[in-house]
Amino acid sequence: MGEIPTTERYISGVTIRLLLAFLAFSLLRACDEAPDTSAPVEAPAAEAAAQDQGGFQVEAERFADLRVLRYRVPGFEGLDFRTKTLLYYLYEASLSGREIIYDQKHGYNLAIKRTLEQIIRSYPGSRDTEDFSALLTYAKRVWFSNGMHHHYSNDKFDPGFSYEALEHYVMETPGGFPTRPGQSPQQFLAELRPVIFDPSVDAKLVDTRAGVDVVTSSAVNFYQGVTQEEVEEFYAERRQADDPTPVSYGLNSRLVAEDGALVEQTWKVGGLYTQAIERIVYWLEQAVAVAENDAQRLAFEKLIEYYNSGDLEAWDDYNIAWVNDNESSVDLINGFVEVYNDPIGMRGSFESVVSVRDPIATRRIDAIAREAQWFEDNSPILNEHKKANVTGIAGKVINVVVEAGDASPATPIGINLPNSDWIRVQHGSKSVNLGNIVAAYDLVSDEAEREFAWDANEIERGERYGQTVSALMTDMHEVIGHASGQLNPGVAPLHETLRNYGSPIEEARADLIALYYMIDPKLVDIGVLPSVEAGHIEYDRYIRNGLMTQLNRIVLGETVEEAHMRNRQMVASWAYEQGLQDNVIERRERDGETFFVVNDYEALRELFGQLLRELQRIKSEGDFAAAQALIETYGVQVDPELHAEVLARYEDLDIPPYSGFINPRLVPVEENGEIVDVVIEYPADFTAQMLEYADEYAFLPTWQ
């Protein structure tokens, strides 16, 4: 619920870029296009797309359907020693937990990952073969997706090489492989064979199709030996309907059947993943000693308490402390946070993001946050679903220092946390825009918008206002969208009421808040939008993406599975259908190619408002049937002819549909055993970084 992905969602000189962008924006001047990565814009030249103004190479490599990028941390060298040291400790805490996500996604992921890594490190034979090239590509895809399923489509990878090739590499490679105790290499290979090579075994990481048991049909390692009905009954018995401050049941555990009973195996010190969590706690304890202020120190201490106890009330205490820390320049997200990988939306995937505030770019997001009550009061949702007092919304633009777990290599561009509704109501929330990540995308923009835009006017408007509007859409989605509205008294959280439809409904609701206000004069009045016309570009893009361009991410013949994609298709398809009589959105053909054109922006805004009102009602009342009907009717099925056309047009453009990042490296400088400085390096080799991480942060046993 709290993230906008960029896999669909400044660098040296970035502070200058941000300042120039801010000044240009304030003067209502034209600015560069920002990355709407599902339909990006042509760069002025290939060299400009590949490098920043300092000659930093942003794109590192391409493989499969992926592009690997790099980002810089502007101003790091000028930070004071304590801040650098704090960032280093949090960097280590983040990477210490990075392998948790592999096991969370599938019980064989660590075995597969470590087998591939051993071959890549040590295989002594020829590497100049089709099989070895395919194995290396497969390994990169596993690293990129933190497992053997695609990070976005959830489909299991076709390895691209034969079982016999894998057998050869294992038998010919010296060193140890991650076998079970007493298991021979041949037995180990036989165990891996169906997991890797049989496409029918664990075919989908997350399966949210209607009419199936989404727990047993999903490969994710959050449940063992239990059914969807059993999971729902287990937590229904524990939830108290009149509890005003419910914990996030199931967030930090695996649910398994043991001796005829269901048991939660908690992720904590002394529990599952203790080897990695102990290292996280160690580095958090170091961070406590160099915290910027008491509020930040308290948040670190509460996070340590939570990891030690596994108590979900301690998690809530930490989130409250984290929300209340609005003065620190350094920030940390670390924990089992987002629930997208759970088919019923309960269990959190490990992720960590370490960042430092960008004070100049934060001015835009601050301006929005200050008006949160106005946006709530003037929203088209029903009055009984509005918050009387919007509390504690904090927004900022950050520069990422390192990401790990489910946030890396594929990263969000915006985050809004915490996810607990009652904490958001009583204590507020934090929204962040990942500034240097967005800037890196901007530097590798491409020609897709020119391909799918109807005319030169759309293209010119995108080039003139695109960067400003893309950033504003992210900010409005995170700061205002997720913070808006309230549940009716006694209504349970989304994962209990809307279940597998909760995530797409919530993301659509946040999108619609942003879209509804995107052409409102209020944004012009507070200085964050140059003109109402500038907002039109987001309507153009959103409809184009929801109805067409995001189909580039789906294999021909497949339906839409990912929550954000379902959300966008549902919104765009519903609006298109509802506006047919008045030709609000028009489907046009030219030279055998399809285009979707917005003819009436005000009418489209009214449609967005109507759908927003309904989605808020669904959330506030917990109306599962209505949520299911909307998503299944408008968000799942794909027109095969249109899909084939989109794939063909993208193939001609040679644009990878997904991107992710190599992290910077923080290196402590020591004298006499004491850290005296921390320097930052920018690796450019994805494989080398993954092998480095495998050597330095492989704390978990292969078999859990």
Better-scored residue on pLDDT, 354 or 360: 354
| CB distance 346 to 495 below 8 Å | yes
CA–CA dist 415, 672 (Å, integer): 40
User: How many C-beta neighbours within 10 Å does residue 55 have?
Assistant: 10
User: How many C-beta neighbours within 10 Å does residue 182 have?
Assistant: 6
The DSSP-derived string for 3-18 is EEES-----TTHHHHH
Does one domain contain both 515 and 564? Answer: yes
Does one domain contain both 638 and 678? Answer: no
Q: Is residue 311, in this structure, part of any structural domain at all?
A: no
Q: Is residue 549, in this structure, part of any structural domain at all?
A: yes
CA–CA dist 297, 506 (Å, integer): 32
What is the model's pLDDT at position 52?
A: 63
CA–CA dist 376, 480 (Å, integer): 8
Torsion (CA) 247, 252, 254, 257 in degrees, nearest 10: -30
Per DSSP, what are the bridge partners of residue 393? 429
Question: Per-residue pLDDT for 407 more than 90?
Answer: yes
Q: What are phi and psi of 611, to 5 degrees?
A: -70, -40
- Average pLDDT for 43-62: 65
| CB distance 586 to 493 below 8 Å | no
CA–CA dist 147, 409 (Å, integer): 12
Cis before residue 409, ω within 30 degrees of 0?
yes
Question: Per-residue pLDDT for 45 more than 70?
Answer: no
Tell me the whole-structure pTM to 2 decimals.
0.85
| CB distance 660 to 144 below 8 Å | yes
Question: Per-residue pLDDT for 4 more than 60?
Answer: no
Cα four-point dihedral sign 576, 577, 579, 584: positive
Cis before residue 418, ω within 30 degrees of 0?
yes
Question: Per-residue pLDDT for 423 more than 60?
Answer: yes
Does one domain contain both 488 and 404? Answer: yes
DSSP-assigned letter for residue 347:
S
- Average pLDDT for 674-681: 97
Better-scored residue on pLDDT, 652 or 11: 652
What is the model's pLDDT at position 24?
A: 35
| CB distance 539 to 598 below 8 Å | yes
- Average pLDDT for 460-477: 90
What is the distance between the terminal CA atoms of the chain, rounded to a whole angstrom?
28
Domain that includes residue 120, residue range? 82-201+668-696
Does one domain contain both 427 and 502? Answer: yes
Better-scored residue on pLDDT, 28 or 278: 278
CA-based Rg of the chain, rounded to a whole angstrom?
24
What is the model's pLDDT at position 241?
A: 82
Q: Is residue 189, in this structure, part of any structural domain at all?
A: yes
Residue pLDDT, tens place only, 474-504:
999 999 999 999 999 999 888 889 999 999 9
| CB distance 461 to 54 below 8 Å | no
Please count the residues of the chain.
704
What is the model's pLDDT at position 193?
A: 98
Q: What are phi and psi of 662, to 5 degrees?
A: -85, 135
- State the pairing for strand pair 66-70/59-63: antiparallel
Burial of 286 (0-12, 13-18, 19+ CB in 10 A): middle
The DSSP-derived string for 666-683 is EEEEEETTEEEEEEEE--
**Total domains in the fold of the chain:** 2
What is the model's pLDDT at position 8?
A: 35
Does one domain contain both 512 and 543? Answer: yes
Q: Name the band, by pLDDT with cuts 50, 70 and 90, for residue 520.
A: very high
What is the model's pLDDT at position 27?
A: 30
Phi-psi map region of 392: left, alpha, beta (phi>0 left; psi -120 to 50 alpha): left
- State the pairing for strand pair 253-258/223-224: parallel
- Average pLDDT for 118-140: 98
What is the model's pLDDT at position 13?
A: 31
Does one domain contain both 65 and 91? Answer: no
- Average pLDDT for 601-627: 98
| CB distance 73 to 436 below 8 Å | yes
The mean pLDDT value of the chain amounts to: 91
Q: Is residue 437, in this structure, part of any structural domain at all?
A: yes
Question: Per-residue pLDDT for 51 more than 90?
Answer: no
Residue pLDDT, tens place only, 211-256:
999 999 999 999 999 999 999 999 999 988 889 999 999 999 999 9
Does one domain contain both 32 and 109? Answer: no
CA–CA dist 570, 627 (Å, integer): 11
CA–CA dist 255, 275 (Å, integer): 20
CA–CA dist 477, 93 (Å, integer): 29
Angle between helix 81-96 and helix 274-289 axes, rounded to 10 deg: 170
Q: Is residue 337, in this structure, part of any structural domain at all?
A: no
- Average pLDDT for 4-27: 34
What is the model's pLDDT at position 394?
A: 83
What is the model's pLDDT at position 363?
A: 86
Does one domain contain both 630 and 585? Answer: yes
Does one domain contain both 65 and 110? Answer: no
Residue pLDDT, tens place only, 194-218:
999 999 999 999 999 989 999 999 9
Q: Is residue 504, in this structure, part of any structural domain at all?
A: yes
Q: Which two tokens stand for residue 99?
A: 């392998």
Does one domain contain both 158 and 142? Answer: yes
- State the pairing for strand pair 665-671/658-662: unpaired
Which of these ranges, 17-26, 311-320, 331-340, 435-444, has the smallest mean pLDDT?
Answer: 17-26
| CB distance 485 to 506 below 8 Å | no
Q: Which two tokens stand for residue 527?
A: 């200085």
Q: Is residue 92, in this structure, part of any structural domain at all?
A: yes
Residue pLDDT, tens place only, 285-303:
999 999 999 999 999 999 9
Does one domain contain both 137 and 70? Answer: no
Share of the chain above pLDDT 90, in %: 83
Q: Letter for the amino acid at 119?
A: I
- Average pLDDT for 361-377: 92
Q: Name the band, by pLDDT with cuts 50, 70 and 90, for residue 1.
A: low
Q: Is residue 520, in this structure, part of any structural domain at all?
A: yes
DSSP-assigned letter for residue 477:
I
Does one domain contain both 580 and 675? Answer: no
Q: Which two tokens stand for residue 451?
A: 């391909």
CA–CA dist 311, 268 (Å, integer): 9
